[in-house]
Structure 1
Amino acid sequence: MRSRPSFVTDAAITEALAEHWRPVTEIAYLPWGFGAHHWRAETLFVTLDQLEPRHTAASLESTYASAAELAASGLEFVCAPLPTRSGRFTAGIGASALSVTPMLNGRSPAEDEVDKPAILAALDALHHAPPPAGLRHWSPQVGPEFAAELRSRTAAPWTSGPLAEEARAALAARSDEITRWTARYRELSALAASRRDTWVPTHGEPHNDNQVTTPDGLRLVDWETLAVAPRERDYADLPDAAGLDPEMMELFALDWRLSELREYSDWFAAPHTGTEDDRIALEGLFEELAA
């Protein structure tokens, strides 16, 4: 996130690191990414994940533990969280969870700089790895009632902030499309569920921003979305990879779009002030509605 979290200070993050991982003397907020908050703390990359709606504290802990298990099994491209002194991989801070990984020596490639053979090889290795016992299975991100609830929710003006009404009007204008998308999504979700015996470990968002090119090769970061699922979940940015099922590709395009619409509708129906993050979110909402 570009803006610092309003509910926690750098001092509180420093105290949590000292309690659960190790003491640090230098910490700096990093206005990177979108969705989680990040800090550099000497050689540690610190992430504060908000749990809802994707996770509970227990599911995020098991997800990060599963990522560490995959790394320990020999998947060197997995940049997994480091354990706390107690052996856990997260520490609670209010309604959020703190985790740390090593600060990598490298950079994320631009979209046109992605090393396609390297990422395809990494995904193939991940998809052939035995799923860790505690790893969650993917499930639909929105329910069958999503479109109807959103139609009702956007029927009256929103007064929650400077961008609220613009967001509400955009959602209301695409209500019929959202209804069709939701129906097709539920149909494809049922098809995927009928093939659960073919599901594999998937990263969930292995796009260029979650790839880091290092002197030791490719590393994949941000394992918060790790789940057992159809392999097509990982190929949104690699649609020409061999052997992909078109219906499963459609499923995960809708999975992304509808989950984003749910999060953006929650965002703008809630109080906001028009920050840089708010404006980035509004652009994201328009992008998904234009799909």
Structure 2
Amino acid sequence: MLSRPSFISDETVANAVAAHWRFKIADIAHLPWGFGAHHWRVAGEAITLFVTLDELEPRHTATSLEAAYAGAAALSAAGLEPVCAPLPALSGRFTVDVGVGVLSVTPWLEGRSPTEAEAGEASHVHEVVLALAALHGATPPDGIRPWTPQVGPKFADELRALTVTPWTSGPLAEQARLAIAEHTDAIARWTGRYLELADKAISRKGSWVPTHGEPHNDNQVVTAHGLKLVDWESLALAPPERDYADLLTTTDGLPLPDLAMAELFALDWRLSEIAAYARWFAAPHTGSHDDHTALGGLHEELAPDPK
């Protein structure tokens, strides 16, 4: 997230990392990065760690998040080079409950994430496709969850009911409510198509593969040792198009994606984001930088596809 969390201090994070990963801390700094979790850079005498605080409901339970991070660690241990996996705590688990969410740590990567423009260059797309092909060809780790549809057939009706009366939960609440209310017919159409495609995908469940879920540029780090994929909280068995949906090209020698499945996962992203933003703005908020970023994200997901 872009804003520092008000519900946990740097000291609490540092103490948890020190206790559960037996790490002697010299410095800690909150990082205004990403969107959906909070991050810190924690430096020690010999190494530096990247610390993540994930809140749980509704995206995860403690069990599902632990399974995702344990699965990423298993993929890395099996030799999958692009995986930047979490490090186990002294307990052997990869997540530690701190009351307001769970902490995980990964090694700090020396490198940087590409910009959207850089990520669209053919040479970079080639490298991403090769990394994803390796992931999709890997043996699924024990405990990896299967993908499931993010919304059900009543989603549009639920949003209609939610947006009937004004929202007084914060300074951006009414803008968000009106935007959603104006698009419930479109949301109903998108949902119908989404569930139709989801049924098709589920009928082929035997061919599903390990997928990252969000391998966009912000979850890529270019290092001296090659491309690394980070943020494995969405690891799941699914059609490979779950990872390829946002890529504009493929490399020679690889099959073109199933266009229906690519459409499914474009809708999967859109509808899950709309659901998340509806919860966001129906709940108390203050008009922070994160809130304004979220409102922009909501408008982006509600916009019709270009013709």
Query: Do 1:201 and 1:227's aligned partners in 2 also have CA atoms closer than 8 Å?
Result: yes
Residue 67 of structure 1, CA deviation: 0.2
1:184 counterpart residue number:
193
Residue 194 of structure 1, CA deviation: 0.2
Answer with 110-119 or 50-59: which moved more.
110-119
2:282 counterpart residue number:
269
Aligned-partner Cα distance in 2 for 1:109–1:244: 24
Q: Give the secondary structure class of the aligned counterpart of 1:26.
A: strand
1:251 counterpart residue number:
264
1:128 counterpart residue number:
137
Unaligned runs of 5+ in 1: none
Query: Do 2:245 and 2:263's aligned partners in 1 also have CA atoms closer than 8 Å?
Result: no
Question: Percent same amino acid at aligned positions?
Answer: 64
2:27 counterpart residue number:
26
Query: Do 2:10 and 2:28's aligned partners in 1 also have CA atoms closer than 8 Å?
Result: yes
- When the two chains are superposed, the root-mean-square deviation of aligned CA atoms in Å is 0.9
Q: Give the secondary structure class of the aligned counterpart of 1:136.
A: coil
Aligned-partner Cα distance in 2 for 1:260–1:94: 25
Residue 193 of structure 1, CA deviation: 0.4
2:12 counterpart residue number:
12
TM-score by length of 1: 0.98
AA at the equivalent of 1:84: A
Q: Give the secondary structure class of the aligned counterpart of 1:223.
A: coil
AA at the equivalent of 1:245: D
Q: Give the secondary structure class of the aligned counterpart of 1:40.
A: strand
Residue 243 of structure 1, CA deviation: 2.1
Matched, 1:102 2:107: yes
Alignment match of 2:228 (pick from 214, 219, 226): 219
Q: Give the secondary structure class of the aligned counterpart of 2:59.
A: coil
Alignment match of 1:150 (pick from 152, 159, 164): 159
Q: Give the secondary structure class of the aligned counterpart of 1:218.
A: strand
Answer with 111-120 or 280-289: which moved more.
111-120
Alignment match of 1:234 (pick from 243, 259, 266): 243
2:97 counterpart residue number:
92
TM-score by length of 2: 0.93
Residue 240 of structure 1, CA deviation: 2.9
Query: Do 2:125 and 2:249's aligned partners in 1 also have CA atoms closer than 8 Å?
Result: no
2:61 counterpart residue number:
56
1:285 counterpart residue number:
298
Deviations 1:185-212 (A, max 9, x none): 1111111100001100000011111110
Aligned-partner Cα distance in 2 for 1:268–1:32: 21
Aligned-partner Cα distance in 2 for 1:86–1:25: 23
2:116 counterpart residue number:
111
Aligned-partner Cα distance in 2 for 1:23–1:255: 42
Deviations 1:58-97 (A, max 9, x none): 1100110000000000011100000001111000111411
Query: Do 2:87 and 2:104's aligned partners in 1 also have CA atoms closer than 8 Å?
Result: yes
Aligned-partner Cα distance in 2 for 1:185–1:50: 27
Q: Give the secondary structure class of the aligned counterpart of 1:25.
A: strand
Task: Tell me how many residue pairs correspond in the alignment.
Answer: 291
Query: Do 2:153 and 2:191's aligned partners in 1 also have CA atoms closer than 8 Å?
Result: yes
Aligned-partner Cα distance in 1 for 2:247–2:184: 30
Query: Do 1:14 and 1:23's aligned partners in 2 also have CA atoms closer than 8 Å?
Result: no
